[in-house]
Amino acid sequence: MDAVAEREFLEFARTRTQVLLRSAYALTGQQQSAEDLVQSALAKTAAGWRRIDADPEPYARKVLYHEFVSWWRRRSTHEVPTPELPDQHAPDATGRSTTRLMLHAGLARLGRRQRAVLVLRYLEDRSTSEVAEILGCRPGTVASQTARALARLRVVAPELRELLDSEEAVR
């Protein structure tokens, strides 16, 4: 990589790492795993930097999601953390922290592809066609995976059923 390309990549990495990290954390549910995922995605983005014509962020995001979905192939164990919520000594004033913890725990119980579809559709507010392009599949596959993932989430995380059934959850 020449000096100009290296400067461009480092500027991209400096400005977009936090955004990529947020998505990676939603996918993995663990800070260290999210950091590893972003590092891997940025390394592959750097390797392909010369091939990127315009905005590098879609390329980096596609690498991030493909890396996440394919991690199961490289891992010797398929452990998925399922932490239980601790007893609350003080009420949560906003309820948002508890909802986030329950949502992360529920997402951790889903398969990687279903988790990726939900994060892209609802956390990142992407269209079905955008998700299909990022994951390299058809929009119909995204729609069916989304429906299956939401149904599965209702089963594995019944505490989220009210949130999932509300109109706000599917917007």
- Distance between CA 142 and CA 120 in Å, rounded? 10
- Distance between CA 11 and CA 166 in Å, rounded? 40
141 and 134 in contact (C-beta within 8 Å)? no
Q: Which residues, 6 or more positions from 92, have their beta carbon under 8 angstroms from its beta carbon?
A: 98
pLDDT lower than 50: segments of the chain? 76, 167-171
Which pLDDT does position 168 carry in this prediction? 44
pTM of the model: 0.56
All structural domains of the chain = 3-74 (1.10.1740), 96-170 (1.10.10.10)
- Distance between CA 143 and CA 153 in Å, rounded? 15
Instruction: Give CA torsion, residues 19, 74, 130, 105, to 10 deg.
Output: -60
- Distance between CA 117 and CA 123 in Å, rounded? 10
Which pLDDT does position 129 carry in this prediction? 94
Which pLDDT does position 169 carry in this prediction? 47
Tokens of 22: 């947020």
